[in-house]
Amino acid sequence: MSHPFRKKWGQNFLRDPNTITKIINCLQPCASDTILEIGPGDGALTSELNKQSDHIHVVEIDPLLVAQLEKYNYSNVVIHRADFLDWDLSHLPKGFKIIGNLPYYISSPILFKLLAWHNWERMLLMFQKELAQRIVSKHGNKSYGRISVMCQVYCDVNIEFMVSKNVFRPKPEVDSAVLTFFPKNNDLPDFSAFSKLVKQAFSQRRKKLKNNLPEAYKLGKIEKWADSRPEEISPHEFIQIYKVIFVG
């Protein structure tokens, strides 16, 4: 297929059969699964998933790619032409699986939408290597930030393997990494409130928490962490901070 690649949508299509097989094996699809694929492109993953699952939904923003996917006449794939950030997840059944190669410019907003939904069983997502390393980074590292905290509080997340930039067309500038996410089911903070708290805590990375959360500090609620910078505070400690501020 000859496709005019859209730079604005970060299009890089996977072209290596071995990598495609490894990715799908990590998802562990079975016939009864409902699978959501984000940004199927020209169907490199879809065509393999199609053989293993009876219920697949793909969300693609590019009308030219939607037209191409429709030509395959998949019997078990529902194609949605939409911007994923605007797409309604509510009609998918509880426990669905998610797969996707996320374009760098929109990776974080998509990931935050999926974390907030939390009605899925497993996610297998590909990110640029730098973002993948930020997601799994431990506190105390320069790469540790808001996205590290949010992912690690709401999910068990692991880097499965690295993917060379050479297996994509057009070739991106950097390598990628495939990550698995499993939702945590223990007593979790309210997503909206916790997300705002963590965002505010990291609003000025080099400042101490007492400067970034001044109201909570004035009320004497975060004395234990007042002189710590946000990157020094573990995900578990952020949960403690949330409980002190919002639960009491």
Domain co-membership, 175 together with 224: no
Domain co-membership, 119 together with 90: yes
Q: Tens-of-pLDDT digits for all 248 residues of the chain?
A: 455 545 554 567 888 999 999 999 999 999 999 999 999 998 999 999 999 999 999 999 999 999 999 999 999 999 999 999 999 999 899 999 999 998 888 999 999 999 999 899 999 999 999 999 999 999 999 999 999 999 999 999 999 999 999 998 878 889 999 999 999 988 899 999 999 999 999 999 999 999 999 999 999 999 999 999 999 999 999 999 999 999 87
| Single residue among 135, 154, 183 that ends a domain in this structure | 183
Q: CA-based angle 225:230:236, to the nearest 5?
A: 70
Domain co-membership, 228 together with 169: no
Domain co-membership, 166 together with 205: no
Residue 98 lies in a domain: yes
| Single residue among 164, 183, 202 that ends a domain in this structure | 183
Number of structural domains the chain divides into: 2
| Six-digit token string for 8 | 């604005």
Domain co-membership, 205 together with 170: no
In the chain, DSSP assigns E strands to 13-14, 34-38, 55-60, 77-81, 96-101, 120-128, 155-163, 168-169, 176-183
Residue 1 lies in a domain: no
Domain co-membership, 17 together with 134: yes
Domain co-membership, 78 together with 131: yes
Domain that holds residue 16: 7-183
Name the CA radius of gyration of the chain, rounded. 20
Domain co-membership, 139 together with 222: no
**How are beta strands 96-101 and 34-38 bridged, if at all?**
parallel
36 vs 43, 86, 208, 222, CA distance in Å?
13, 15, 41, 40
Q: pTM for the full model? A: 0.93
